[in-house]
Amino acid sequence: MHRVITPASGQRVQWQELPERLKDWVGDVLGGPIVTADSQIGGFSPGTADRVQTASGDRAFVKAASSAQNEFTPRLHRQEAHVVAHLPRTRYTPSLIAVYDDGDWVAMVLEDIDGRPPSLPWRLDELDAVMTALDELAHLLTPSPLHHLDSMVDAYAETFAGWERIRSNPPPVLDDWVRARLDDLVEMATRGLAALAGSTLVHGDVRADNLLIQRDGSVFVVDWPWASNGASWVDRLFLLVNVDLYGGHDPDRWIAQHLRDAVTPAEITCVIAGLCGYFTDIARQPPARGLPTVRAFQADQAYSTLAWLRRRIAT
């Protein structure tokens, strides 16, 4: 029996709430006024996510946000637009059509992908397809086409310092196993951070709601604001963190099949320790504006990564 996981969701802006100037701009980009807009659910963003269509049948996917929804989301949209604009054309990534930025509202018009997120808990065939896609994408993105981006080691330095923050300011309730090993966990997270180094463009946030699967089984990796340059195996490991969260598969078996030649078991354990510290620390922070379920989802991830970490340390 699977645990009930808090769904990823934000209090999304709807298409009809966008400024008229922005909607008119989308119509100009696509060559005609928008006649339908199908708002998408899921994903941790308070911005709009709409599949739109013009009167002539042209389709696109539109993401838009302003600081009124969340002060960080426009910045993330700018970063994603920069990354996607410089991605090489592959069968795994959508194309960027146009970007709007008036200093407050930021929007992207992207290729519309006729797909859906993977089924949860994960289906074996979809998991295999995504793992294969991430493996091939890593080859295509090595060396990184965006070599000027931060290294993953720098980008994740604060993320992997979660256990340090917990050690200096422990919560009132802390797992006894964790409390007895905080020094070791801090050291492991430090080693895990170092293991992230590499020359591959890494998505950095691979999970079910950032993936689309088409009817023919082909996979698209979407939502790229957290991209950085790191180890080629990272996105596949992050995928398995999501798979383990929902249950039904042994992530260590998939590691043995897909990652054993790329990274040592000790390095994987240390990366999981770093992620677990991040989730444990961030889940206790105040709610994020426009993202009502994010802390609960992070708490679910803290629980699952801790259980996985304990299994790996016990073996």
- Domain(s) labelled CATH 3.90.1200.10 in the chain stretch across 116-314
Distance CA 195, CA 117 (A): 29
- Domain(s) labelled CATH 3.30.200.20 in the chain stretch across 15-112
Q: Give the pTM.
A: 0.93
CATH 3.40.50.2300 fits 15-112, yes or no: no
For 126, the token pair is: 């979809």
Write down the residue that tokens 């310092």 correspond to: 161
CATH number belonging to the domain at 116-314, selected among 3.40.30.10, 3.60.21.10, 3.40.50.2300, 3.90.1200.10:
3.90.1200.10
For all residues of the chain together, what is the average pLDDT?
93
Per-residue CA distances from 150 to 140, 224, 229, 309 (Å): 19, 14, 6, 28
pLDDT per residue as tens digits for the range 83-105: 999 999 999 999 999 999 999 99
pLDDT per residue as tens digits for the range 222-248: 999 999 999 999 999 999 999 999 999
